[in-house]
Amino acid sequence: MQRFIRNVGRLTYKELRSFLADPILLVLVAFIFTFAIYSTATGARTEVSNAAVAVVDEDHSELSRQIRLALLPPLFKEAVTVTPAEASRGMDENKFVFLIEIPSGFERDLLAGRGPTIALNVDATAMSLAGSGAVDIQNIITEEVQKRVAHTELATSQPINVVLHRLFNPNSESMWFGAVMEVINNVTMLSILLAGAALIREREHGTIEHLLVMPVTAVEIMLAKIAANGLVILVASISSLVFVVHLFLGVPIAGSLVLYASGIASYLVAVTSLGLLLATWANSMPQFALLSMPVLIVLELLSGSATPLESMPVWLQTVMQFAPSTHFVSFSQDVLYRGAGFQIVWPDMLWLVGISIFYFSLSLVRFRHAIAT
């Protein structure tokens, strides 16, 4: 047993030295867990932020004033009151994205039950704002109208007032979700690529034959590659989560980082074993890259990090239960967003351990077959 541990330790040290001696890999890992996280989280936002709004107020009533004042940051800039002529010119010159036109006698007609309308013009070239921003403005106007008619007979037509409370992300900021999910996706991608590339590189350089004539076994070689690459990604991902996501981007972390680290360790065994498994079927780096692409796409798009797993067909949800990324995404969301403890996430951790054992065993069988031939 001591010899086994000593051999794995020395082989792990060799893998780490090989990684640290490659400046391209160092720059790649640093870039993926810093700038790539920041650019994805801040550049792919889906919610409205600081949208310019103009109001053509021909009613000049208390209600129209309240509607204008209800358009507040951070969703919208302070609403600007314009004339009809300025409104048309402003839309043409891209000075504002939304234009609200409140007709004369709007409040009077509303209280009289005549059903007046408000026109909302949207610059649809701003695709990310046009849809969600129009819904936000509609909700704001509806809320102000309901407040105004709350003590009139019109209130009897709406006996129930639905109040929405958002848990874990009160302002529905996509950056909070995107930053953490990008860390998870990058962990998946790098784990497969680095582990597989390490084995392909050994084969291309001919050093795998040197290892085979030494008093080491296939299990020790595989464990060393998993430990070395897993350790690098574990340190990089935790550092990215703390310094880039939490401190720099300001995304709160609700749960325990120790619990998260234990979960990611189990996940790394599974995905690095998967990378080694793919590498045993490839004879060169281009083949390995082509083989990895569809696997990465499936793991990232169908794991729940891009779209909710519940929105997928039931048969696909069942199939994805055998993918490690599905359980790791669920585990990460529970721990980092909701502050869940071990008593909540233990089923996902158990799945990760079982899938890791399966992938490691399958990869070991393939690796032994590959070196034997």
- How many CB atoms are located within 10 Å of the residue 120 CB? 15
With a threshold of 0.85, does the pTM exceed it?
A: no
pLDDT at 3: 85
pLDDT at residue 32, rounded to an integer: 93
* Inter-residue contact 278 to 291 (CB < 8 Å): yes
CATH 3.40.1710.10 for domain 53-157, yes or no, is: yes
pLDDT of the residue at 284: 85
Q: How far apart are CA 134 and CA 130, in angstroms?
A: 6
- Residue 51 is classified by DSSP as B
Measured CA to CA, the distance from residue 106 to residue 122 in angstroms comes to 21
DSSP letter, residue 100: E
Q: Return the pLDDT at 131.
A: 74
Per-residue confidence (pLDDT) for residue 202, from 0 to 100: 80
For residue 179 the two structure tokens come to 């930053």
pLDDT less than 70: residues of the chain: 44-46, 126-129, 150-162, 209, 212, 372-373
Q: Are 76 and 31 in contact (CB under 8 A)?
A: no
Give the integer Cα–Cα distance in Å for 70 and 53.
Answer: 12
pLDDT of residue 260: 95
Domain positions in the chain are: 2-44+173-372, 53-157
Average pLDDT of the chain, as a whole number? 86
